[in-house]
Amino acid sequence: MATPTTPVSLAHHFAELDDPRVERTRRHELLDIIGIALCAVISGAESWPAVERYGHAKRDWLARHFRLTSGIPSHDTFRRVFCLLDPAAFQRSFADWVAALADAGVGTRRAIPIDGKTARRRGRQGAALTPLHLVSAWAGANHVTLGQVVVDEKSNEITAIPKLLEVLDLNGALVTIDAMGCQKEIAAQIVTGGGDYILAVKENHPHLYEDIDGCFTEALETDFAGLAWSVSRTEECNRGRQEMRECHVIARPEGLRDAGLWKGLTAICMVLTVRVAEGIECRYFIGSFAGTAQEYLDAIRGLGDRELATLGPGCGVP
């Protein structure tokens, strides 16, 4: 069976990726291993055994798009091959493929949530390899990973997020990042790249957190009188739990110390989440995005959404 190389196919974009295995150990084609792993991870697999299980469960569909000359690879094969692949070369091929999907009209990259993720059980047993700490940018509308950067062993997401932003097309994008990425330099990088940001604020920025808390406390007492304010409320059953969210956004807030150091800061946001039998959770955000409370709520929900859609036919698989 010939493998098509259309502009959005894996074969087209991964053609230059070197196979790190010696010839006699290549029972499975490299493109099969990469393609099955990508489909599995996009569908929610979080370990190599889960990738193998996905392969067996979707074998009939996969056989229409991959050669599968020796069947579905074992989880050890997936692990071994991905440990040997050149990460930078893989990153380039993958980024090119995702960009081609976007150019072909397959989804959108408008919303880009970024958070930290520890990929466990990626090392070789007995070797001096620690778990990889990854920072993943997720396409909010598609739930497709746009890029990954390995964090230095003695560092954290703060060092990796700027590197990740460098390989993403930020023009016109709305980037949401958890509290670890709430940094003045990161905010400036996003705005300079033509995007907007929504950054979670916690006690690691005590003055900013206190000032936002004070603004909303005063605003609630005066029923937001005289403020450029919007609100949005949702109520739904999430994983068997009744959940209500209430989002308040104040544009052009006053009284924030050092507000001028946050490039493009336009609004502050408070999200109250009420879950039956669990109480109330309050979260604060800053944003350069001059949007409504509903738009903020949609973007913030995308930041925490880990449910991945299954990659089906027509999504650029060879």
The pLDDT value given to residue 253: 95
Report the pLDDT value the prediction gives residue 68, as an integer from 0 to 100.
93
pLDDT of residue 316: 34
In tens, the pLDDT along 142-180 reads: 455 556 666 665 556 677 888 888 877 788 889 999 888
10-residue mean pLDDT series, the chain (318 residues): 52 89 91 90 82 93 90 94 87 78 54 65 43 49 56 66 82 88 95 95 94 96 95 81 91 93 97 85 94 91 47 33
pLDDT of 93: 85
**Contact yes or no for 156/235 (Cβ under 8 A):** no
User: What is the pTM (predicted TM-score) of this model?
Assistant: 0.62
Residues in Cβ contact with 71 at an 8 Å cutoff, skipping those fewer than 6 apart: none
pLDDT confidence of residue 52 = 95
Query: Reading across the β-sheet that carries 267-275, which strands appear in turn?
Result: 144-150, 132-139, 111-119, 174-177, 196-201, 279-287, 267-275, 241-251, 228-238
| Vertex 42: Cα angle to 16 and 286 (nearest 5) | 105
Contacts of 94 (CB under 8 A, 6+ apart): 13, 38, 147
* The pair of three-digit structure tokens given for residue 132, joined into one six-digit string: 């990889």
Please give the pLDDT value at position 232: 94
Residues 104 and 240: their CA atoms lie apart, in Å, by: 38
pLDDT given at position 237: 75
